[in-house]
Amino acid sequence: MSYESDYFFRQVSVRSQLSRMPGPSDDYFARYAILASLVETLVDAFNWKMQLGIRRGEEAALDRSVNRATNFSKEAPSWTRNIGVIGKPPSLIDRDKEPHANPEENFSKRNIEAGVGYLYTV
């Protein structure tokens, strides 16, 4: 997922704005909840990169301004806010390969165990 996350971070079109990502038309609640958690986590990962001064785009320009940690506004699309908790918790962490992975908050709040360190690459 790190390659996909990095590719998506480099896109700057209006269509690639996370806040404009449409909700999936999916009747399977667990998949819907996982997608909502993933989008929210991408927003957090992108905001983290931008707080470091890394800006979106092919050039991966650095913002060295004093306000680099606050001169942007990225948020998750509104459809992610209304997704509840999954009854039977799925685990997306392979404990054999990732024994120290910590479940991420956007997933945990929906009773999903997922590590997302691979989204936080620079």
Q: What is the extent of the structural domain holding 38?
A: 2-119
User: What would the two tokens of residue 78 be?
Assistant: 């509104």
Domains in the chain, number: 1
Higher pLDDT pick, 41 / 97: 41
User: What would the two tokens of residue 28 be?
Assistant: 């399977």
Contact call for residues 116 and 104 (beta carbons, < 8 A): yes
Query: Given this model, what pLDDT does residue 90 score?
Result: 81
Angle, in degrees to the nearest 10, between helices 29-51 and 2-10: 60
How many whole angstroms separate alpha carbon 114 and alpha carbon 49? 20
Query: Given this model, what pLDDT does residue 60 score?
Result: 61
Q: Which whole number is the average pLDDT over 5-19?
A: 83
Higher pLDDT pick, 16 / 75: 75
Residue 91 pairs in a beta bridge with 113
pLDDT in tens, 37-74: 999 999 999 888 888 888 877 666 777 777 776 667 67
Q: Per-residue pLDDT for 23 more than 70?
A: yes
How many whole angstroms separate alpha carbon 27 and alpha carbon 72? 34
Q: Which whole number is the average pLDDT over 92-102?
A: 79
